[in-house]
Structure 1
Amino acid sequence: MGTLVSGKEHKSGYESHPDYLLRVMPAGRHVRVTVDDELVAETEQALELFEADYAPVFYIPRKDVRMGLLKGNENRSWCPFKGEAHYWDFKRGEKEIPSVAWSYEDPFVEVSNIREYMAFYPDKAKIEAD
């Protein structure tokens, strides 16, 4: 069993795959996220998550996200290495784009540093890093 940040025990992918590649490190770059030409997030404190053969993902501190433009939805998915993902819609006036971002509210302790951070889908948001 794995342990979530909250202390709850849950079946973990690390049990059967202890060598699974998953690293989180400071991105060391300025990261800017826009959705529908609206600045949604900007930070110097992003984390970059490297996982198996997937493209790296920037995680933005929630404090640097304009949360008034996002609305949590009911969608959830489970990652055996990170935990339960919660999804967020972009909403500005009448414009709504579903599930532009996700977060792990109670991740496994192995990736506890992504708690209070959000990631954005590159096909729904423009993500720039320099």
Structure 2
Amino acid sequence: MDKRANPAPGFQRNPDKVITIEPYRGTVTVSAGDTVIARSTRARLLSEPPYPAVFYIPFADIDFGKLARTEHSTHCPYKGDATYWSVLSAGETGKNAMWAYEQPFDEMTEIRDHGAFYASKVTVEAKPG
């Protein structure tokens, strides 16, 4: 997490909260059944203990034709406001399956224009490169 003296407005500083973002060396594929929604060799791995690590995939590597934006949103005091998309082919299970921080806090710009998926709603497969 960025340690700037002047954090972005709304950004919550917490010295006990360590968030790391690093490039994933390999291929990440997201699918619902036989339908591939995203495939990337440019994913970033975000670690935010105690939560499981999450892959953030560049928008350019996501097939938005297989998604529908929803009205759902959430707020994270460390990343900003998240918007959500549903995976069309997954039906009710795919509701709000992908989220993104389209305008994250300055401290989290590495995940701007990247989407993350709930592994409980779709299949997220990572193969080291």
Q: Please indicate the TM-score interval, normalised by the length of the shorter structure.
A: 0.7 to 0.9
Q: Output the aligned Cα RMSD.
A: 1.7
User: What is the distance in 2 between the residues matched to 1:111 and 1:19?
Assistant: 17
In the TM superposition, what are the counterparts of 1:1-130 in structure 2 within 5 Å? Answer: 2-3=7-8, 9=9, 11-14=10-13, 17-92=14-89, 95=91, 97-130=94-127
Q: Give yes or no for contact 2:72–2:84 (8 Å, CA) kept in 1.
A: yes
Q: How many residues align?
A: 121
Q: Deviations over 1:90-118 (max 9, x none)?
A: 124x9463101000011011110100000
CA contact (8 A) 2:7 2:107 kept: no
C-alpha distance in structure 2 between counterparts of 1:74 and 1:56, whole Å:
25
Give the percent of matched residue pairs that are identical in Structure 1 and Structure 2.
35
* Structure 1 gaps, min length 5: 4-8
Amino acid at match of 2:25: G
Structure number with the higher strand fraction is 1
Instruction: Give the equivalent residue in structure 2 for 1:6.
Output: none
Unaligned runs of 5+ in 2: 1-5
Which range is displaced more, 119-128 or 94-103? 94-103
Query: Does the 8 Å contact 2:22/2:46 carry over to 1?
Result: yes
2:91 and 2:121 mapped to 1: Cα distance?
13
Larger deviation: 72-81 or 96-105?
96-105
* Structure 1 residues 60-91: Cα deviation after superposition (integer angstroms, max 9, x where no partner): 00000001011111101000000001010112
Q: TM-score, normalised by structure 2?
A: 0.87
Distance 2:85 2:51 in 1: 21
